[in-house]
Structure 1
Amino acid sequence: IRNVAINHFPHPDRYFERGLFRELEQRGYAYKELNECGVGTLHYDIKSVEKNTNLRDWVPAWCFPFIFWAAGKVGGRVSARLDWFAGKNICVVDKPKTIHGLRDKNGNPLSDHDPITLDFVLDAQQIL
């Protein structure tokens, strides 16, 4: 359980979505240098009612006992990287970032995902 939470959920290109990321690379798209790899963008806490409600939208109810048991084995919180940039002919200007904890003036999260940023320029030599 701990291995999956640490080495697979924040790195879907290693196992769960390996085929997708290989396909991107085979078609000439970059992604590794365009993302803060290994940093989750979606976080689930077994104590968070609103997160569990959202999870129910796409996970069958019979999975919940296992999910809560597994999350409990790693401290009750699991993060996965679901958001990615992929592109061609892009030069990174500054390191990509995942921004945690964005909230409105009332303290409400702005999204259920952490936003990702990328400061880049197009590689003019490759475009022409």
Structure 2
Amino acid sequence: MTTGPSNPGDPARAAEDPAPTGEDLAALLARLLEETGDHTQKDLAVAAGIRYPTLNAWMNRTRGTSRINPDDLRALTNILRGWGAEVTPRQLFEAAGRPVPGPTDEEREQRLLEIYRQLPSKSQRALIQTGEAMLTASRAT
């Protein structure tokens, strides 16, 4: 399993996401459940709207994860985050061996906020003005 870019000094590789941690879905869910405290597999299944035998089979690796409904992975993410776990949809999709969908609204918002915070105040004001102009233009069409 890859643990990082093969050439960390390569600027083209620096923009890529870090390599996956190597945790499969079962290991990731087990770790996250442990982090959330007193929640069980059954609690997670009920809260996410997934049948307990299905979730249990994923966690015991007796059922494949390549066909998991993307909405189930998003539901698991939302429940775990609500319980205090630090997890992104990308982590669950990668752990399940599923294609990672485009960034979620939350991930895009977080990226925009990170960029905004790195700008000097003059550029922050310009970014706000540009955003307001874009919003006005989108309402006009």
User: Same fold, TM exceeding 0.5?
Assistant: no
Work out which of the two has the higher radius of gyration on C-alpha atoms and give 1 or 2.
2
Task: Indicate the TM-score class for this superposition, using the shorter chain for normalisation.
Answer: under 0.3
Which has the larger strand fraction? 1
TM-score (norm 2): 0.25
Higher relative contact order (Cα pairs below 8 Å, separated by 6+ residues): 1
More helix by share: 2
Q: TM-score, normalised by structure 1?
A: 0.26
